Structure 1
Amino acid sequence: MEPQQKNRDQKQTQSRKGVPGLIEDTITSTVDDMKAIVDAKLELFRIEMTEKVALASAVLILAVVLLIGAAYMLTSSALLIGELLSHPWLGYFIVSLVFLGCFAFFTKVKPEALKNFIHKILLSAHD
């Protein structure tokens, strides 16, 4: 009688395991899949943010290098012009006039020109 009892218990366990067990396995695997998807999305987000921070840092470093180079170039130009005109202050004065002229042009004459130029550069950088 004991072997028959064992068989009945196994059949009941299998019948209980049937649909409810299948639903439980499905829910468990769905939750595990959702966790894996969320983990993958978070890792992708971290990678994208790291890439954006690296790009912003590179642009900032390049901008600083460009500004330093431009400052030395302007100083050298002013010294050269001053040397050619026999008065060092005259070279700095002429370079300053060029910058003031650019400022006046972009603020009074064509205020939209600089904005449009920068807008085109930014759009071309993203394409």
Structure 2
Amino acid sequence: MMNRKAGKEQGSASSKSRRSGIAKLLDDTAVSTYEDVRAIIDAKFELLKIELTEKLSVIASAAVVAVILVVGMTYLLTTVALLIGELLGHPFLGYLIVSLLFLSCFLFFTRFKPLLLRNLIQKILLSLHDYN
């Protein structure tokens, strides 16, 4: 009888060591999986930060270029107005003609063809991203 108890105790001891080995393996696998998932999530956040930074830099550079364009167009329109005024003999006539040109464009795009400008801008933006 003693041999049977000793055999059972040895069997249960080896079973416990196997369980602890399997449990340890499962624990290590779960921990490494958790760490891998956490590393993937951290990497995705870093990628998102980089993409957002890139998009913000594109927007900022476009804003700077837009300001430069507005200032340049202002000087160009002032020059055209002064030229027209010089040709007509009165400087105010040049400014009047340029102003009337802008007001007529405003009326055209707001009263007569309000969707034309929106559709044109939408087509330009879609063509920038290669959409048809």
Displacement after TM superposition at 1:124 (Å): 1.2
* Aligned residue in 2 for 1:86: 89
Structure 1 residue 102 corresponds to structure 2 residue 105 = yes
Distance 1:87 1:72 in 2: 19
Letter in 1 for 2:108: F
Among 67, 73, 78, the alignment partner of 2:76 is: 73
TM superposition outliers: structure 1 runs of 4+ over 6 Å? none
Task: State the one-letter code of the partner of 2:98.
Answer: V
- Distance in structure 1 (CA, Å) of the matches to 2:88 and 2:104: 21
Candidates 39, 58, 64, aligned match of 1:61: 64
C-alpha separation in 1, matches of 2:84 and 2:34: 74
Task: State the identity as a percent.
Answer: 53
Residue in 1 that maps onto 2:36? 33
Tell me if 1:112 matches 2:102: no
Higher mean Cα deviation, 16-25 or 113-122? Answer: 16-25
Whole-angstrom distance in 2 between the partners of 1:109 and 1:16 = 82
- Give the count of matched residue pairs: 119
**Within 2, Cα distance between the matches of 1:15 and 1:114?**
75
* Structure 2: gaps (5+ residues): 1-9
- The one-letter amino acid of 1:29's match is S
TM-score by structure 2 length?
0.83
CA distance in 2, matches of 1:34, 1:115: 45
Matching residue's letter, 2:45? L
RMSD value, Cα: 1.7
Query: How far 1:108 moved relative to its partner?
Result: 1.6
Q: Normalization by structure 1: what TM-score?
A: 0.86
